[in-house]
Amino acid sequence: MRQALAALTAALTLALASSVSAQSMTVGFSQIGSESGWRAAETTVTKQEAEKRGIALKFADAQQKQENQIKAVRGFIAQGVDAILIAPVVATGWDAVLKEAKEEKIPVILLDRQIDAPDSLYLTAVTSDQVHEGRVAGEWLVKDVGAKTCKVVELQGTTGSSPAINRKKGFEEAIAKTTNIKIVRSQTGDFTRTKGKEVMESFIKAEGGGKDICAVYAHNDDMAVGAIQAIKEAGLKPGSDIKVVSIDAVPDIFKAMAAGEANATVELTPNMAGPAFEVLAAYLKDKKEPPKWIQTESKLYTAKDDPMKVYEAKKGLGY
Ligand code: GZL
């Protein structure tokens, strides 16, 4: 009886200790901005995940500027937070500020984008396999097009960001296996609808009013939705005259799919923070080192996947 009581007391103390440590945890989050529906959802979910765990989250929106992110991270360091989350807008230029965090023994976790820096400068990176996302998008187009000659225009994400670099790489690998599918124009739309529309308008003008374009590959759904608008305004049918394939799986792309105006998207979860907070708690409690990369799932959706049902399921999730 006495042993059972002792075991119960120990278990309760342990549970209390870990919950107290989570409650007293303060985490700084340097978010890129709110450039896309997916980014808005990531912010919403991160705040929810922190709330669930009683973590005090200090949030900083950088309006897509790296200097604002670096300033925010320096602020978090000065405030002596327990940990820092960064969604890095571009892949380079992080070494100095990450060294400063390391000197103060503040662990840093990267969310949704990778960086070109020694992985000793951060605890882990929670991201999808962005090359794989591009490859899945490319393979869908290869299958859809068959032997037909297909001129593709590409709307790239933010220049210098890991998703823009990697999604381009994966897509090009997939279509390189064919001789009939080629990217004829490629330019950044900075992951936004507005820019995606503008750039697609210029592609349409440059390619015979759009009738020579077989498909648009957009590195995210927001630029694809902008491109759909431009295609319609040019008097063409998105989804049939010009196929539309993109990445993120935000609700609005499923609405377009249900209307026959988009064809395929590769899902990216907005919940990078949940896995991050889990490994962070284990690290802060007993210095348990996580793997340097925690990969999130990617799933292809097409019009065969009941798009309106997916839209309904996703629309309340903070997009
Ligand atoms: C990818 C993420 C990208 C999304 C865009 O992991 O960083 O940034 O695909 C967002 O919607 O702008």
Per-residue pLDDT of the chain (319 residues), as tens digits, is 677 666 666 655 555 544 444 557 999 999 999 999 999 999 999 999 999 999 999 999 999 999 999 999 999 999 999 999 999 999 999 999 999 999 999 999 999 999 999 999 999 999 999 999 999 999 999 999 999 999 999 999 999 999 999 999 999 999 999 999 999 999 999 999 999 999 999 999 999 999 999 999 999 999 999 999 999 999 999 999 999 999 999 999 999 999 999 999 999 999 999 999 999 999 999 999 999 999 999 999 999 999 999 999 999 888 8
- Is residue 203 a contact partner of residue 185, using CB atoms and an 8 Å limit? yes
For the chain, give every domain's residue range: 2-126+270-288, 130-268+302-317
Q: Which of 30, 39, 85 to mutate to test the pocket of ligand 1 (most atoms within 8 A of CB)?
A: 39
What is the Å distance from ligand 1's center to 220 Cα?
A: 7
**Dist CA 143 CA 204 (whole Å):** 24
Q: Can you tell me the distance from the alpha carbon of 50 to that of 160, in angstroms, rounded to the nearest whole number? A: 29
Q: Is the CB of residue 248 below 6 angstroms from any atom belonging to ligand 1?
A: yes
Q: What is the dihedral of CA 163, 167, 170, 175, to 10 degrees?
A: -170
How many whole angstroms from 180 Cα to the centroid of ligand 1? 29
Cα gap 264→3, rounded to integer Å? 59
**Which residue owns the Cα nearest ligand 1 atom 3?**
163
Query: Between the CA of residue 107 and those of 102, 277, 280, 288, 313, what are the distances in Å?
Result: 7, 12, 8, 12, 35
Q: Could you tell me the distance, in angstroms and rounded to a whole number, from the CA of residue 58 to the centre of ligand 1? A: 21
Question: Domain 130-268+302-317 has what CATH class?
Answer: alpha beta
Distance from C-alpha of 317 to C-alpha of 319, rounded to nearest angstrom: 6
| DSSP 8-class letter at 291 | P
**Which fold, 2-126+270-288?**
Rossmann fold (3.40.50)
Ligand 1 centroid from CA 16, angstroms: 37
Could you tell me if the CB of 217 is within 6 A of ligand 1? no
Q: Do the domains at 2-126+270-288 and 130-268+302-317 have one common CATH topology?
A: yes
